[in-house]
Structure formats: C-alpha cells, structure tokens
C-alpha cells in the first residue's frame, strides 16, 4: 500500500535521524533504516497493530524509543507522527 506523510511527521523523522547522527556517527542512518522497515511492515500489514484511537494505529519501532502513528485511508497509509516514547503522549492529536 502507498505511504504518505503529514509534513510534521516527515520533520519528526528527519530531526530524529539528525539527532542520532550527531550522537554517534552512523546511528542516524541506522535509525532511518529501522524507521523505513517499520513503515514497510505497516504498509504490508496495516491492520496488525493496536488501534489507539478510531482509525489511528501505533506500531512500535525496534531498538529505538519511537512509535509510528498512522491511519489507514482508502488508497494509502497516512503517517501522522514519528513519536518519541517520552514526548507528551497525545501531542499529535491536533494533526487529525
């Protein structure tokens, strides 16, 4: 299934990649790779993860404290947020 990002979610992904790359050389690249594989799993099995709000699901990333929050639309998956576990939990709700 096709993937689309809200602009804010794309910024969150890019900022997380940049942050981890500044911490350890190559870690940002690793984060991005794991984020992409998580999103690929979501696209392949969109209904496999917990629905946390009506039509909003959460897939937890491996190895990093992040969630991919998304909705299943008619022709695509919409990535709503790349959310850090320790960030204010419902900050992204204004986006929907």
Q: Where residue 94 falls among pLDDT bands split at 50, 70, 90?
A: confident
* pLDDT tens figures, 50-74: 999 999 999 999 999 999 999 999 9
CA dihedral 81, 87, 88, 90 (to 10 degrees): 20
Does the pLDDT of residue 88 top 80, yes or no? no
User: Looking at domain 2-90, does it have CATH number 3.40.50.1460?
Assistant: no
Q: Which residues of 45-58 are buried (b: 16+ CB within 10 A; e: fewer)?
A: ebeebeeeeeebbb
| Ranges 16-20, 62-66, 69-73, 83-87: which has the least confidence | 83-87
- Sequence-distant contacts of 90-94: CB under 8 A, at least 24 apart: 92/8, 93/53
Residues 58, 62, 65, 66, CA torsion sign:
negative
Q: What is the pLDDT of residue 86?
A: 85
Q: Is residue 27 within 8 Å of residue 20, measured between CB atoms?
A: yes
What predicted TM-score, i.e. pTM, was given to this entire model?
Answer: 0.91
């Amino acid at each position: 299934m096709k993937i689309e990002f809200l602009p804010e979610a794309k910024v969150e992904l890019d900022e997380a990649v940049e942050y981890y790359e500044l911490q350890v050389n190559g870690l940002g690249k690793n984060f991005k790779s794991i984020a992409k594989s998580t999103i690929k799993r979501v696209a392949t099995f969109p209904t496999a993860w917990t629905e946390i709000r009506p039509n909003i699901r959460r897939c937890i990333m491996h190895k990093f404290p992040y969630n991919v929050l998304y909705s299943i639309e008619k022709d695509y998956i919409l990535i709503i947020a790349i959310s850090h576990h320790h960030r204010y939990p419902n900050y992204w709700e204004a986006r929907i």
